Each structure stands twice: as C-alpha cells, then as structure tokens.
Amino acid sequence: MFFLNGSAISWKSKRQPTVATSSTEAEYMALYNDTQEAVWLRQLLLDVGCECVGATTIFQDNQGCIALAKNPAYHSRTKHIDLKYHFLREKVEDKVIVLEYKPTDEMIADGFTKALARPKHRQFLVGLGMDA
C-alpha cells in the first residue's frame, strides 16, 4: 500500500504463485512486488513533472526480510530464491528504496490480507482515511 501526502494512492493484495519455505522468504517475495510498484510510481511522478526527493520508504514487519534485502551476499540461505526477487536488493543498494521496520500492529495494509477484530478493523479504516 502506497501513500502520497497522507492519501492511499496504490494497493494490491494477491496470493503468491510460489511456495515459500519460510515467512521471511514469503515477505521477501512480496517485497519484490512492492519494490516494482515503488519504482513504477516514482517514474509516473517524474512523467507528470513531480520530482522525487530521496528514497521511497517501504515499511516491513519482518526483520529477517529486511536483513535479507540489505545483505548483497548470495549464500546458502538465499541460493534457492529465484534471482528476479533480488531486484529489490539492487534498489536498496541504489538508495531508490529504504526499508524500515514497523511492528505488525501498526501495519495498515494488513487489513487487506488478514481477518481483523473490530478495534483493529477500525484502526485500519482510520489509517486509510475512511473513518474518523
């Protein structure tokens, strides 16, 4: 889910086509899709005359995923991951995106993928700017 000036401008929820061997790997694969969207949105903004100052921040609630994306080394724990997913490492190194940890309880986008209790659902709606 992407925000611009406090408003949601892009979001997507879909089932992953590949089976991951861990939650870290699943989050890494999802982060690849987020990175593609961030790069596309940055280019769209440039095309309409808006300057992108600094990197795009992507929040992630899996610290293992963040560590994996920031580590450019290919080692035994990542050798089975399809190379296309490592595109996000390139964008982290190029400072196009910045990954920041955000606790699961604060992740607004979870409302699209998880069943939420009423208070959490209300927090989700407020985060989207749909309920006061």
pLDDT at 77: 66
Give the pLDDT confidence of 95-113 residue by residue, as tens digits: 999 999 999 888 877 777 7
Taking the C-alpha atoms of residue 23 and residue 85, their distance in angstroms, rounded to an integer, is 15
16: helix, strand or coil: coil
Q: Give the C-alpha distances (Å, rounded to integers) separating 77 from 25, 26, 130.
A: 10, 14, 41
Selection from 105, 101, 21 nearest residue 58 by Cα: 101
Taking the C-alpha atoms of residue 31 and residue 14, their distance in angstroms, rounded to an integer, is 13
In this prediction, the residues of the chain whose per-residue pLDDT falls under 70 are 74-80, 131-132
pLDDT at 83: 73
**Rg (Cα) of the chain, in Å, rounded?**
16
Give the pLDDT confidence of 4-18 residue by residue, as tens digits: 888 888 877 777 777
Residue 18 tokens, joined: 């590949």
